[in-house]
Chain A
Amino acid sequence: MKNLNLASIAGLMALVLAPVFISFTANSADKAEINTLATLRDHTEIDVQKEPNRIPKVVNKDIKQARNYPMQPPIIPHTIRSYEVNKNNNKCMSCHSRQRTEESQAPMVSVTHYMNRDGNFLAEISPRRYFCNQCHVTQLDAKPLVENTFVDMHSLMKQKTTSAKEH
């Protein structure tokens, strides 16, 4: 009887402790996972507030940059602090619209931005393209969290032709 009791106690213990062990192992697995992922929180414990990083500066060099992925909308190479794009105004269009580029010498907004979804041309920028920042963004002078391995189509084709020539 006593043996049975002991056995049942051991069994109960095992039942109670099993989830704890499992959670331990799960935790370590999570940690390993965390270490491989580049996140802003990095290795910070879940219950600790991370010391925030310095806010990087907006790149303001006015130099057009290559795309970082296929079909990337051109990025904004200048600061846009306090630029209003709302019901009343569109600050971007005060330089980039068709009527304004002569004076501002800014790149003109693409003609597709004046088309509605049925392909009809409008006099003003199409409402569906109105909010520039939905696609066009500034860049920060920061170290990328993940390296970008994007290769442009033309570089790919060039590589292929040169390797074909070698063989």
Chain B
Amino acid sequence: MKNLLMIGWKTLTKPSGYYSLGALVIGGFIAGIIFWGGFNTALEVTNTEKFCISCHEMENNVYEELKTTIHFSNRSGVRATCPDCHVPHNWTSKIARKMKASKEVWGAIFGTINTREKFLVHRKRLAQNEWERLKANDSLECRNCHNFDYMDFTEQSERASYQHSTALASGEKTCIDCHKGIAHQLPDMKGVEGW
């Protein structure tokens, strides 16, 4: 085993005696494109709703609940899919989230929430994870679509325009502070701030 590793290391450190420098550089470049493209494509596949609801935990609980909300069905037909709200859009944060999500793969394999009952037991903890994430990044995933700068307060109801022009505008509150449970049902909210 050790010898095998040494042979591998020596091959890597020695200059190439057979391939031309050009072939190595161009070959490496092309291989790089293919690997990087492949990686990104695979990453994007895991970033689709179809992938998310391929696990019945997602399909039978959260996806079913999403269906009744305005983020699924509404007058203009623009809808949010799972990754729109649950995966950051910029690359580094996305990779960080994807790495964290490996724990969810563990959960899927060992059936942490594979029944509705188990899901409901864990619901508060799971919801709190998401609230904390959105609170920490100033509801970035909401703001990917709902841009504060382009909000027309005159089009909003009186209550909404009041809250948005004061608490939200001053940065004292962020979207998730008031809009909890907007796309899924809520857990027991006892002890949650603002309830």
Interface residues on chain B, number (Cβ under 8 Å)? 16
For residue A61, CB closer than 8 A to chain B, the reply is yes
Q: Which residues of A contact B157 (CB under 8 A)?
A: 60-62, 78
Q: Which A residues touch B194, using CB under 8 A?
A: 94, 100, 103
DSSP majority for the B interface?
loop
Given A89-B189, A94-B194, residue A82 in contact with residue B159 (CB < 8 A):
no
Bound Cα distance from A61 to B157, whole angstroms: 7
Question: Are B195 and A82 in contact, CB atoms less than 8 angstroms apart?
Answer: no
Interface residues of B in 139-158 (CB under 8 A from A): 157-158
Cβ–Cβ < 8 Å partners of B69 in chain A:
82
Chain B proximity mask over A89-113: 1 for CB below 8 Å, otherwise 0: 1010010000010010100000000
In the complex, given contacts A89-B186, A100-B194, what are 16 additional A-B residue pairs having Cβ atoms less than 8 angstroms apart? A60-B157, A61-B157, A62-B157, A62-B158, A62-B159, A82-B69, A82-B70, A84-B181, A84-B185, A84-B186, A88-B186, A89-B181, A89-B188, A89-B189, A94-B189, A103-B194
Write 10 A-B pairs (CB below 8 A) sorted by A numbering.
A82-B182, A84-B181, A84-B186, A88-B187, A88-B188, A88-B189, A89-B188, A89-B195, A103-B194, A105-B162
